[in-house]
Amino acid sequence: MNNATLVAVPAGGGTAVVGSVREDLARYLASGGDSALRHSPEAALAAIRAAELRGRGGAGFPVAAKIEAVRAADGPRVLVANGEEGEPASVKDRYLMRIRPHLVLEGMLLAGHLAGADRAVLYVSDAPSARSVRRALAERAAAIFDHGPKRQAPTEVEAFDHRQAPAERVAGVEIFDAEPGFVSGEETALVRAIDGGPAKPTAKPPRPFEQGVAGRPTLVLNVESLARMALLTRFRRSGLLVTLSGSGAPPVLTEVPHGVRLAELAARFGYDACRGFLAGGFSGGLLPPSAGGTPLTHEAMRAIGSTLGCGALVAIGHDDCPVAAAADVLAFFDRANAGQCGSCVKGTSAMAGVAEALRAGTAVAEQVDRLEQWAGRLRGRGACGTLDAACLTADSLLRHFPDEIRHHLAESCARCVRLPVGADTRFRVHPPEPEEG
């Protein structure tokens, strides 16, 4: 399969954040960059609230409410930009950091200012992304050092002092080299890692906005959420970055308006003839072809029992099989879970075992019954969302693909026999390589 991700620039521009050339500071400022930093905090927050911006990391929590919660807590406060894109089918965050680092930095400056943070951390494991943001920080430091007041260039951390007007300071950002992994970017795992512990989730409460990095109130925002915040004061509306991949066509990263229908998007990029989708990366379960009329919004996806998540969609093509897709995703969760919660460790392993038996044509009806019971009973019993995502994968397979289940119980599936095994092999998408500007 051709795994090079195409970047599709939407017609009409507008809030388009996509492009193929890495944007340096001069280019960024020439196109109106950093203008969000000239607004009052009240105006910027009002724009975020009016746009009903929701987090783009997966949970979809309202961004303005998160900012207000941290702002209301006693300081000192911390901002963490979450650039750890652990969803194998998503590339948008790495793309933004590699190609539009100044947009991410502007969002960080703005968010830090709104929350009253005096420490800012970018949490990222992707080395090219970290390099690109470090280079962007150096460009900002050089701009101030060369043209600003004659003083020593500030250190990155000093420069994030929230008492300075945001437009006048360098985007001082600590870059934390994160451990890659599916649970590493979960917000309590990230707090734990920055504080020197393992990148594994902890029980909630407390949530990071109450007690996060070094015990301080911490605002954790995904890098796309930050980029969107920076653009909102300019455009007043917000799009959605979508990674679309799967069998049949090359992966594509594009920006769509909220509410575009799944089938319309799939048809635009050659994914229309398929047997279903994995939604929300691996977190939203399987969708049947009949879900094609669903608008891509948090509410509509939730209404059909799925999630928009990080906006990644994987098409299950006609040569593919929903049972094999579910088996690969459950096996991935079985490997990727943090090994902390008994229900998750045993539950994902047991569900993965039944799905694998179905794929191999060796499962019996009693196993399918047990799979159904686990998918219902184990929900909400893990410290993070991994176990729930595994339950949703199993439950959606059983609900939407009963004919395929019957077929796999009766005989071995010719498609499954031909398919390679492993979610990493079949569904992992690689970010586009930036051209130098």
Residues that bind ligand SF4 (CB under 6 A): 183, 201, 337-341, 344-345, 382-384, 386-387
Q: Which is nearer to ligand SF4, 203 or 364 (CB)?
A: 203
Q: Which is nearer to ligand SF4, 95 or 333 (CB)?
A: 333
Hey, what are 196's tokens?
């020197």
Q: Which is nearer to ligand SF4, 226 or 329 (CB)?
A: 329
Q: Which is nearer to ligand SF4, 80 or 391 (CB)?
A: 391
Cβ-proximal residue to ligand SF4, closest one: 382
Closest residue by Cα to residue 273 from 318, 243, 242, 323: 318
CA atoms within 13 Å, Cβ hemisphere of 422: 5
Hey, what are 41's tokens?
């905090």
Q: Which is nearer to ligand SF4, 32 or 342 (CB)?
A: 342
Minimum Å distance from CB 356 to ligand SF4?
A: 19
Rounded distance, CA 244 to CA 316, Å?
11
The per-type count for the chain, helices as H runs and strands as E runs, is 17, 10
Hey, what are 298's tokens?
């948090």
The residues pairing with 425 across neighbouring beta strands, listed in sequence order, are none
The residues pairing with 343 across neighbouring beta strands, listed in sequence order, are none
Hey, what are 93's tokens?
């965050």
DSSP character for 100? -
Q: Which is nearer to ligand SF4, 222 or 337 (CB)?
A: 337
Cβ distance 316 to 274 under 8 Å? yes
How remote is the C-alpha of 203 from its chain's centroid? 21
Q: Which is nearer to ligand SF4, 78 or 199 (CB)?
A: 199
How wide is the angle at C-alpha 434 spanned by C-alphas 430 and 435, nearest 5°?
Answer: 145
Rounded distance, CA 109 to CA 166, Å?
6
| Residue pointed to by tokens 């905090």 | 41
Q: Which is nearer to ligand SF4, 232 or 384 (CB)?
A: 384
DSSP character for 196? T
Minimum Å distance from CB 86 to ligand SF4?
A: 11
Rounded distance, CA 18 to CA 253, Å?
8
Rounded distance, CA 32 to CA 15, Å?
12
Q: 274-278 and 77-82: which strand pairing?
A: unpaired
Minimum Å distance from CB 340 to ligand SF4?
A: 4
Q: Which is nearer to ligand SF4, 316 or 387 (CB)?
A: 387
Rounded distance, CA 109 to CA 120, Å?
9
Rounded distance, CA 407 to CA 252, Å?
32
